[in-house]
Structure 1
């Protein structure tokens, strides 16, 4: 719980700094998108579907910082008699993007904490409790223009050994595709 509080406090301070540091030559945008992917490894989930919302401030024309959140729904799957429940991940993360050119390929990542939500237990036929969350990372490589972003991304919430049932490890990770729309917020 202490790491979650520290993460939220750090993101709040960073957001305050970014918002108060805006000037006429900085560009700000709201990024709204969706993603779909395959769970990896696919032990307790088969696929995911999610929505993303982020605020980005272009510190320089080729470098953006911001905050990101959203919701990713993971679809549980049966695994050798274990009836895994669906669950969701709600990230609270810092957003980092590098744009080598005005239009073209970009690199980025979201780093923060992923809250895992849903049924209390990992599986409907087990009493093992699911993890509450963990360190969250979402690296991506993609193509961007003024309005759109298209990306190949990997998202993972690290849970340690919490939620394991026998030889089945608990995984909140997915490899997928994302699309996002940029809404300008002024200069």
Structure 2
């Protein structure tokens, strides 16, 4: 966790070191703000990989370009962790479970089209679980390719849970389409 926080801090400091014109929220237009909607697929990793074989879901984010290279926004969506057919029940889960993240989205775009890096940081709520199992804080670092209309990126998602339960991790790929604000 400390390494992830350090990496995010370094990324934020390096992004703010560029002398750029900052935009205010009053400046929202179709040139600098959009809704990203798409899908994701992933492979569970770590201990949760013993229970779940596949993750599929929806990825949604609202983004505002604070500068020409730095985007900030809100991220959410839904991911379904499908249970392996031969797996025993995991902590009261019989048919898999869902994850609903709610977080801050940070992106750095070196150019108007091309590679980008970013992360989502926030809290993930879990569904389909018994009352004793709760969600946890999450971090989702990513690297991808973007243009004016779409994004494709690889990511690592880690949901940090209380000590009595296991963390939930996955490695995946997502595709999102940009719907411009008018």
Q: Distance in 2 between matches of 1:89 and 1:153?
A: 16
Q: How much does 1:78 deviate?
A: 6.1
**Which of these residues, 167, 170, 175, is aligned with residue 174 of structure 1?**
170
Tell me which of 61, 65, 71 is aligned to 1:64.
71
Point out where structure 1 has 5 or more consecutive residues left out of the alignment: 1-19, 122-128, 164-169
2:59 corresponds to 1:52? yes
Answer whether contact 1:39 1:48 (CA < 8 A) is retained: yes
Write out per-residue CA displacement over residues 5-39 of structure 1, whole angstroms, 9 at most, x where no aligned residue.
Answer: xxxxxxxxxxxxxxx72316771100001100100
TM-score by length of 2: 0.77
Structure 2, unpaired ranges of 5+: 1-23
Report if aligned partners of 1:135, 1:158 keep a CA contact under 8 Å in 2: yes
The one of 133, 150, 153 aligned to 2:152: 150
Partner of 2:50: 43
Matches within 5 A, 1:25-44: 27-41=32-46, 42-44=49-51
Residues matched between the structures, number: 152
CA-atom RMSD, angstroms?
2.0
